Copies of this chain bind each other. A is one copy, B any other.
């Protein structure tokens, strides 16, 4: 976006560019894992805008919309919804409502501070001939007390004395733009205003979530606090669904009127409904009593702790430094694992699209980031799926199958998606659930989670595969018919290599885990068998199917065949597509996309990202060289997976360009849909491409190895990760790797072919690292 400057810790918009306002609103979103807001303006704005305030886990069961109903489609689409608005502050000067769409700014800056998690705006506008007003707003959602936040609004008349009115307000008159049937999701239960505070309690229809949002305000003129009794001649206002506290004062030229609005939004997910009103008012009032400085310090400290764990540094490329931090910043705004009822939606708190539901994106891409950054506490993501196991069992039953099938999209465990080719057929997602458990065991080096409850998910996903595969008397192999692989530009194909491979792996891994459990703890093993109702030959069946799974291979080219019949296609390279036709998802009809050879995102290559230990570099390279040029990367999840595999096959130029693509996806609106919200789940790539890709980190059999290279144009990079419960910070430069090991133990790291002893504290390894060629 041309109006954006990417600074190491800030994203700055320096022009209004209101035509693209929705894009900037997405980019300037704030969140604290409990709630989030798009970068909407506090005051009225009659230009294009997508208003968005979201509360984690508060959803509405929107009636499903389909063209033609198919058996097994879900009854409802659970949707994280636009929630009562707490940032609003109406602004009026000399009787004129301020609206930047009408009084176009003379100067404009909107800046996101990633270090401190705040958004600041500075605007000068002429609201009346010769009368300029300087407006500054500043806001944050507390990372310390996640139910709270604060907005500061300042106005300074620059040319004359002026009567300024600021009206901090709350509103439950909110709607989703993308509701299926134009329904309103909230019912206002009660509104109340005091001299300087107010609240609104509302409840979602159908799903019955209660919310109460409260505010408590302070006002200052030239730093002097104004008592509430002086706020306004006509006092607080209240209409259905809106409460407002107008504060009106004559401000001498050059003086600043400052409002600090402390707010709190609580829900019945955490408290009984009858306590919400008092609770939210009390919290807002006590923040007002403690003051802005104290509240902001705690928030900033919380961010500092997160950055200490998760920051990546890129030396020598400020733009990519900023973009990479921006990605990690958004991951942390969306989810930090404090609540195992929550997960990560593709748009986080930045838009309505995809309904805020959870996809396999979490296990495939987000989980590895949280696992390596947060260690053991990433287990909340595994528990989320374990908690939903019963619903996944029901989901498999609906399709006439055994075991458990995790939903394609969910908020509460129920399937929400309703395209048959995805809902019923994109079943590879099931293996991602098992794979996350596998990664956890491998990285933390701890079998306990599996032994305790993880085994249930492994067994039920293996069971699903065993009932879903069928015997082909023609091939004398087990086949999996009628699936959609990760590449959604193919639908209802048979023997998708990735799906068959991962199914086979999943069954084998479940069998292996059961064997290990039996060896470690016979009693627990017996108890698992009985809890899961396992029959005598079941494990043997899995192993038989797993080892006799058909895996299409194209002998002539020596590559895995993406699915049966891929070789029948006209094989072309994506670079041959005229750029006017890109993305093909927007310009080609669906059948044309399906019958072309073009690939949306990693499919065969996805397995090399997930299980690199199972493939030689030569195999990966042959397949990468065949499939990557046919890939249009039209899923946000494509570039990061390809960048990592590119590093693994030493295609460093491609690894860098795909990394760049991935981390700047939203900042440059590459998919032309950032207006709808950010691509949160793919933002894990900023970390993973560096750690797993450029640094080549691997953990196998409890041993850490790396094969670092420094991308062309960079001086180096550093990142942090958990290994065996302790934190390690690794800095890679052209011929030097520095490892800071925060532990009392000594360990071994293999760098390329040589092993190095790592002592607690700082270690310097001289290595001829690989440079981009």
Minimal beta-carbon separation of A252 from chain B (angstroms):
56
Tell me the complex Cα distance, A591–B67, Å: 17
A494 adjacent to B565 (CB under 8 Å): yes
Which of B64, B587, B589 touches A424 (beta carbons < 8 Å)?
B589
* Beta-carbon nearest neighbor of A477 in chain B: B568
The reply to whether B470 and A590 form a contact with Cβ atoms under 8 Å apart is no
Contact segment of A68-76, A321-329, A669-677, A725-733: A68-76
With A71-B586, A494-B565, A565-B494 as contacts: A591 and B420 at CB distance below 8 Å: yes
User: Which residue of chain B lies nearest to A492 when distances are taken between CB atoms in the complex?
Assistant: B492
Residue A567 is within 8 A (CB to CB) of chain B in the complex: yes
Residues of chain B lying within 8 A (CB to CB) of residue A565: 481, 494, 564-565
B contact residues around A569 at 8 Å (CB): 470, 472, 481
Whether B595 and A482, one on each chain, are in contact in the complex, defined by CB atoms closer than 8 angstroms, is yes
Contact with A591, one of B65, B425, B471, B474 (Cβ below 8 angstroms): B425
Q: Which residues of B contact A494 (CB under 8 A)?
A: 565, 568
A475 at the A/B interface (Cβ < 8 Å)?
Answer: yes
B68 touches A594 (CB 8 A): no
The answer to whether A592 and B400 touch across the interface, beta carbons within 8 angstroms, is yes
CA distance in complex: A491, B70 (Å): 14
A470: B residues at CB distance < 8 A: 569-570, 595
Q: Given A424-B589, A588-B400, verify A471-B70 contact (CB < 8 Å).
A: no
Residue picked from A68, A571, A591, most chain B C-beta under 10 Å? A591
Query: Would you call A399 an interface residue if the criterion is a C-beta within 8 Å of the partner chain's C-beta atoms?
Result: yes
A66 interface residue per 8 A CB criterion: yes
Question: Could you tell me if A481 and B590 are in contact, using CB atoms closer than 8 angstroms?
Answer: no
Known: A470-B569, A565-B481, A570-B471. A590 touches B70 (CB 8 A): yes
In the assembled complex, the Cα of A70 lies from the Cα of B421 at a distance in Å of 13
Residues of B near A474 (CB, < 8 A) are: 567-568
Counting CB contacts under 8 A, is A446 at the interface?
no
Q: How far is the CA of A493 from the CA of B491 in the complex (A)?
A: 10
Q: Is A448 an interface residue (CB 8 A)?
A: no
Which residue of chain B lies nearest to A594 when distances are taken between CB atoms in the complex? B482
Stoichiometry, as copies per complex, reads 2
- The interface residues of chain B lying within 8 Å CB-to-CB of A492 are 421, 491-493, 594
Q: Which of A602-623 contact B (CB under 8 A)?
A: none
A208 to chain B, nearest CB (A): 26
**A68 vs B590: C-alpha distance when bound (angstroms):** 12
Residue of B nearest to A67 (CB): B66
- Say yes or no for A436: interface residue by CB 8 A criterion: no
* A398 in the interface (beta carbon within 8 A): yes
Would you list which residues of chain A between 462 and 505 have a CB under 8 Å from chain B? 470-475, 479, 481-482, 491-495
Residue among B68, B70, B571 making CB contact with A589, cutoff 8 Å: B70
Is A419 in the interface zone, CB < 8 Å from B?
A: yes
Q: Is A334 in contact with chain B by the CB < 8 A criterion? A: no
**Which of A429-485 touch B at CB < 8 Å?**
470-475, 479, 481-482
Chain B residue nearest to A422 in the complex (CB): B68
A98-128 vs B, CB cutoff 8 Å, 1 = contact: the mask equals 0000000000000000000000000000000
> Which residues of chain B are within 8 angstroms of A64 by Cβ–Cβ distance?
67
What residues on B are CB-neighbors of A72 within 8 Å? Answer: 589-591
Report the Cα distance A452→B398, complex, angstroms: 56
| Chain B residues in 8 Å Cβ range of A471 | 570
Report A495 CB to chain B, min CB distance, Å.
8
Closest to A472 in B: B568
Chain A 542-578 interface 0/1 with B at a Cβ cutoff of 8 Å (1 = within): 0000000000000000000000110111110000000
Decide yes or no whether A418 CB sits under 8 A from chain B: yes
Interface size on A, residues (CB 8 A): 48
Complexed CA–CA distance, A568 and B480 (Å): 9
CA distance A388 to B669 in the complex (A): 42
Bound complex: CA A474 to CA B589 (Å): 25
Residues of B within 8 A of A482 (CB): 591, 594-595
Q: How far is the CA of A248 from the CA of B490 in the complex (A)?
A: 69
User: Which residues from chain B contact A475 at a C-beta distance below 8 Å?
Assistant: 568
Question: What distance in Å separates the Cβ of A142 from its nearest Cβ neighbour in chain B?
Answer: 37
Chain B residues near A424 (CB-CB < 8 A)? 589-591
* Contact A587:B67 (CB < 8 A) given known A472-B568, A491-B492: no
Instruction: Report the bound CA distance from A569 to B587 in whole Å.
Output: 35
Q: Given contacts A66-B67, A470-B570, A568-B472, is CB(A400)–CB(B589) below 8 Å?
A: yes
Nearest-neighbour CB distance to chain B for A494, whole angstroms, equals: 5
Least Cβ–Cβ distance between A150 and chain B, in angstroms: 40
Would you call B481 and A589 a contact (CB within 8 A)?
no
A368 to chain B, nearest CB (A): 29
Tell me whether B418 and A67 are in contact (CB under 8 A): yes
Query: In the assembled complex, how far is the CB of residue A735 from the closest CB belonging to chain B, in whole angstroms?
Result: 47
Chain B residues near A473 (CB-CB < 8 A): 571
Bound Cα distance A585, B585 (Å): 31
Contacts of A481 in B (CB 8 A): 565, 568-569, 594-595
- Which of A470, A569, A589 has most B Cβ within 10 Å? A589
Residues of B close to A418: CB separation below 8 A: 67
Contact B419 A592 (CB under 8 A): no
Residues of B contacting A570 in the complex (Cβ-Cβ under 8 angstroms): 470-471
Q: Given contacts A492-B594, A594-B482, A595-B481, are A71 and B568 in contact (CB under 8 A)? A: no
Task: Digitize A57-90: 1 where CB-to-B-CB distance is under 8 Å, 0 elsewhere.
Answer: 0000000111110111000000000000000000
User: For A589, what are the chain B residues with a Cβ–Cβ distance below 8 Å?
Assistant: 70-72, 398-400, 424
Residues of B within 8 Å of A587, CB to CB, are 71
| Set of chain B residues within 8 Å of A398, measured between Cβ atoms | 589
Contacts of A420 on B, CB cut-off 8 Å? Answer: 590-591
Q: Who on chain B is nearest to A554 by CB?
A: B474
A512 to B472, CA, bound (A): 42
Interface hub of A424, A495, A587 (most chain B Cβ within 10 A): A424
Bound Cα distance A199, B618 (Å):
83
Q: Which residue of B lies closest to A427 (CB)?
A: B591
B590 touches A71 (CB 8 A): yes
Nearest CB of chain B from residue A171's CB, rounded to whole Å: 29
- Name the residue among A64, A421, A471, A587 with the largest chain B CB count within 10 angstroms: A421
- A567–B586 alpha-carbon span in the complex (Å): 36
- B591 x A399 contact (CB < 8 A): yes
Q: Nearest-CB distance from A192 to chain B (Å)?
A: 38
Starting from the known contacts A67-B418, A481-B568, 15 additional A-B residue pairs (CB-CB under 8 Å) come to A65-B65, A66-B66, A66-B67, A67-B67, A71-B587, A399-B592, A420-B590, A424-B590, A425-B591, A470-B570, A470-B595, A471-B570, A491-B491, A491-B492, A564-B568
The 23 listed contacts between A and B (C-beta, < 8 Å) are A64-B67, A65-B65, A66-B67, A67-B67, A67-B418, A71-B587, A71-B590, A72-B591, A399-B589, A420-B591, A421-B491, A424-B590, A472-B568, A473-B571, A474-B567, A479-B568, A481-B568, A481-B569, A482-B594, A492-B492, A495-B568, A564-B565, A564-B568
The list of the 3 closest CB pairs from A to B, nearest first, reads A424-B591, A72-B589, A482-B595
